[in-house]
């Protein structure tokens, strides 16, 4: 399991996520983790969820190896409340 920094600059208004640290095996898996949870799997929320509209707009940077007991998913998210 690896740690990844995911970020986006498509949606930069209030009440949006700008980045998160996530645990995933691959870059593609990291790109598809939504900072708020499982919203990518719920089409009714697409583009209305404080993140960019499409996973392809997510930038991903490898940070390193996760500790053995880290589960896949969100480790820490940055939310800009307004």
* Mean pLDDT for the stretch of residues 14-43: 86
* The total number of structural domains that make up the chain: 1
> What residues contact residue 34 under an 8 Å CB cut-off, 6+ apart?
40, 49, 51
pLDDT tens for each residue of 31-65: 999 898 766 656 655 555 688 888 899 999 999 99
Q: Residue 24: pLDDT above 90?
A: yes
> Domain limits at 70?
2-80
CA 1 – CA 16 distance, rounded (Å): 27
């Amino acid at each position: 399991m690896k740690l990844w920094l995911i970020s986006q600059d498509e949606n930069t208004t209030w009440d949006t996520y700008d980045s998160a640290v996530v645990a995933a095996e691959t870059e593609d898996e990291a790109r598809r983790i939504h900072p708020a949870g499982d919203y990518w799997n719920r089409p009714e929320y697409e583009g209305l969820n404080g993140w960019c509209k499409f996973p392809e707009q997510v930038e991903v940077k490898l940070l390193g190896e996760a500790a053995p007991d880290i589960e896949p998913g969100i480790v820490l998210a940055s939310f800009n409340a307004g």
